């Protein structure tokens, strides 16, 4: 696969939508974790639940300009979000715990939340671009 296929106008629109989603989602996630004292998993899951709804509509109409609706698209979007979430955050927490094992738990988990967010973005883009909103 050529890099030009991945890094085109759709990629940059996805990044713009991602910035909006990141601001909203980060606020939700870090406030729930640090202010409401909810767990790592609950805080990150709430972020992706609410932001995924926003992401679906922004990416469907703005990034990938898809007008049609299909059951496949909705199911594929949900599966993409769920798989990207569990892979990203499932990898981030043990990875950060390994590298920052001497740091306090709240530091490790805040860093893991950030790393998970970055991993999720990459996985989510690939799934949306090449599966969910692929022009058929």
**Structural domain spans, the chain:** 9-132
Q: Give 71-115 pLDDT, tens digit per residue.
A: 999 999 999 999 999 999 999 999 999 999 999 999 999 999 999
CA distances 136 to 66, 79, 117, Å, are 10, 19, 29
What are the tokens at 90? 């499932």
pLDDT of the residue at 35 = 97
| Distance (Å, whole) CA 24 – CA 32 | 12
pLDDT above 80: residue 20: yes
pLDDT of the residue at 100 = 97
Q: Give 33-83 pLDDT, tens digit per residue.
A: 999 999 988 998 998 899 999 999 999 999 999 989 899 999 999 999 999
Instruction: Return phi, psi of residue 103, to 5°.
Output: -85, 155
User: Are 17 and 62 in contact, with CB atoms under 8 Å apart?
Assistant: yes
Look at the block and give the residue holding tokens 């892979």.
87
Taking the model in full, what pTM does it have?
0.80
pLDDT above 70: residue 2: no
| Distance (Å, whole) CA 129 – CA 59 | 9
What are the tokens at 119? 């991993």
């Amino acid at each position: 696969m050529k890099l030009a296929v991945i890094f085109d106008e759709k990629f940059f629109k996805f990044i713009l939508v991602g910035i909006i989603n990141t601001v909203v989602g980060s606020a939700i996630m870090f406030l729930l974790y640090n202010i409401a004292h909810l767990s790592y998993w609950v805080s990150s899951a709430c972020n992706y639940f609410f932001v995924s709804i926003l992401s679906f509509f922004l990416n469907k109409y703005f990034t990938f300009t898809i007008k049609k609706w299909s059951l496949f698209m909705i199911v594929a979007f949900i599966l993409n979000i769920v798989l990207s979430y569990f892979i990203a955050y499932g990898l981030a927490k043990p990875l950060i715990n390994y590298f920052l094992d001497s740091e306090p738990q709240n530091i490790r988990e805040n860093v893991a939340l950030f790393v998970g967010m970055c991993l999720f973005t990459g996985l989510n883009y690939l799934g949306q671009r090449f599966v969910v909103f692929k022009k058929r």
